[in-house]
Amino acid sequence: MSTALTDAFVVLPGEPLCGRVRVSGATKNLGLKQMSATLLAPGVTALRNMDRVTDLDVMIDVMRAVGARVEWTAERELTIDTTGPLSPEAPYELVNRMRASVNVLGPLLARCGEARVAMPGGDNIGSRPVDMHLRGLEAMGAEIRVVHGFIEGRVNRLGGARIVLEFPSVGATENLLTAAVLAKGQTVIENAAREPEITELAAMLNRMGARVLGAGSSTIEVEGVEGLESVESVDVIGDRIETGTLLMACGIAGGEVTIEGARLDHVELVAMKLGEMGLKVTPTPDGIWARADDRLQAVDVATLPFPGFATDFLPLVVALLATADGTAIVTENVFDNRLGFVPELNRMGADVRHEGRHAVIRGVPRLSGAPVRSLDVRAGAALVIAGLAADGETVVLDPHHVDRGYPDLAATLRALGANVVRRRG
């Protein structure tokens, strides 16, 4: 595997991590969805604490394609103007690059009465059908067709309905929530996703004049309104997935770190598991403090929807367990290909055996630096932090996957003393 002059993260072992760093805004998992929500009402909204991940570049193009004006008005502030008429079509070449762009479907149907959105793309981590999105919109009275790779929807006005999700899907909950706020009558979403990002999205919608109750619980009730108004500004919360990434990096490399802007209640189960492993984690007035004094101990992990152990953390905790003392069993209960990166980690000397959704991890004292490939955003980040506990040089190729969710992972880790650079070929 040639690594000369190619884009890559290059990681060398170093001292334990030490210092303070501010977590990035939750651009990928929240900011993009709040951008979609601005389509529900004419006006101008500034989203603050937005960091420039590459998925944001795609979403900006999607928003512009449907008629919004989107501009950077400050270093981390994005202003969206939805005053003008919208063109309710999101083209294939954009939606295919990022799954979150399907979130414009609900707002466009609710405001325009029609939408034509390409079937979404995104990371290859397993089956993520949009059937729940479409069935929910049909229950609200929309006529939905999937034709030549496009979702086509049409309705005079959406109507309230009781919708029971087969699984607490974040994307389906977001799409149906943003559609229901302008529907006639009451919509009840049962088995709804409970993630903090859902709560924040609902809070923004309520500021726009929506009537949403129960966000953050498994039952969300929405009383439709005749119209919404844009809000002047919205502050995006800190990224809980980056928070977990940095906590696990501390567990792998050892040391003592403070993550400013992070919220312990957003990563509570992760912190609990890391505590069982021996990582000390405690809240601070403006974030989270963590310290690892010794090699961590292996524990079993199973992913579940929030407030469970999030699937996004699975590759990261597998990398952490690869250097822990003992044997652990990890079970992935959300996506069927989340463990596809394991052969790359094993190239670094890890002892991980996996079949389907299960993996048995026998920890080794140290990994060995090697050239490896990033297969998706979280798997790539996992390989980068694994390099912190590897002798020699680790080169993580295809780093563009990581760039989709982390504005500058190398710089963030360097701020804590890690020897990581993002090489551009």
Residues with catalytic roles? 123
Q: How many CB atoms lie within 10 A of CB 261?
A: 18
Helix axes 268-277, 314-321, angle to 10 degrees: 10
